[in-house]
């Protein structure tokens, strides 16, 4: 049995977001010093960018092929995504394909993304809520910006987090950037106007503080969330820190990874 860990991140070309990826990679290496740890990006667009600047990063199939050629027999494929959306489901398919194909792995276990499903949602929601409340100060509302997904079974988690926050503290909200208009910024602008919110505390619910944070959350153009809110007279304070920069969230990913490693050793 020759084991390897493959971390699958969406990827980012932004230095600051890459620091999040480096940080979690380091934590994994520290925790499992005897197991080789590799990194792959699931985003084709980001991989293209990285290649152009001479810092090519493998896709998941490329990284799995390399591990096979090195004689690895057992792999933990750990998702570094936030919700089980399109990318995560693609990892499940790849795990299936690489176990069933000729000369494939003996076993590939996929580690859950941060939100592992409805059953364990509370743990993530509590941790994210605590991050929002910690810095809220005298802001009237806390607004997280999630990515959003077209995938039905991924999109439900943003709404579920929003409902959880609202039950615990009605000043905390979860919105999404794209694909799910009903949870987009327009909805929150209307709500904040009704609630007479004057100051909002804005945080990303994204792995790293990369492109979407810099451009879509706080960008210096009229369509960023901050500009849209400010145009309505709502003052904003933004936190430029991704999920991968909070130990309490990284610990949840590491717990999923640990479960997957324990499943591997069961066979």
| Residues annotated as part of the active site | 147
Query: Contact 13/85 with Cβ under 8 angstroms?
Result: no
User: What size, in residues, is the chain?
Assistant: 267
**Residue 266 DSSP SS3:** coil
Closest CA relative to residue 206, chosen from 26, 81, 28, 27? 81
Closest CA relative to residue 151, chosen from 244, 76, 87? 87
**Residue listed under structure tokens 């070309």:** 13
DSSP string, 129-146: HHHHHHT-TT-SEEEEEE
Cα 260 to Cα 254: distance, rounded to the nearest angstrom? 10
Outline where DSSP puts E strands in 57-170: 74-79, 107-111, 141-146
Residue 77: exposed, middle, or buried by beta-carbon count in 10 A (0-12, 13-18, 19+)?
A: buried
Cα 220 to Cα 237: distance, rounded to the nearest angstrom? 14
């Amino acid at each position: 049995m020759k084991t390897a860990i493959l971390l699958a991140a969406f990827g980012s070309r932004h230095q600051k977001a890459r620091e999040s990826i480096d940080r979690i990679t380091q934590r994994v290496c520290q925790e499992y010093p005897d197991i080789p740890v590799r990194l792959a990006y699931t985003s084709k667009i980001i991989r293209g960018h990285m290649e152009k600047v001479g810092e090519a990063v493998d896709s998941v199939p490329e990284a799995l092929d390399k591990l096979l050629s090195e004689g690895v027999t057992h792999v933990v494929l750990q998702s570094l995504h936030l919700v089980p959306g399109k990318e995560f489901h693609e990892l499940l398919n790849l795990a299936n394909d690489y176990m069933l194909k000729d000369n494939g792995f003996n076993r590939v276990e996929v580690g859950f993304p941060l939100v592992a499903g409805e059953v364990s949602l509370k743990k993530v929601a509590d941790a994210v809520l605590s991050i929002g409340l910690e810095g809220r100060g005298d802001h009237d509302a806390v607004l997280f910006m999630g990515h959003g997904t077209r995938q039905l079974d991924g999109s439900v988690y943003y709404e579920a987090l929003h409902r959880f926050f609202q039950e615990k503290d009605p000043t905390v909200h979860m919105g999404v950037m794209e694909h799910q208009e009903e949870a987009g910024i327009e909805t929150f602008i209307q709500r904040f106007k009704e609630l007479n919110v004057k100051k909002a505390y804005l945080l990303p619910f994204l792995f790293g503080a990369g492109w979407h944070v810099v451009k879509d959350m706080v960008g210096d153009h009229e369509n960023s969330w901050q500009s849209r809110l400010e145009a309505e007279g709502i003052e904003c304070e933004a936190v430029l820190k991704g999920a991968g920069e909070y130990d309490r969230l990284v610990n949840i990913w590491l717990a999923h990874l640990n479960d997957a490693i324990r499943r591997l050793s069961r066979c």
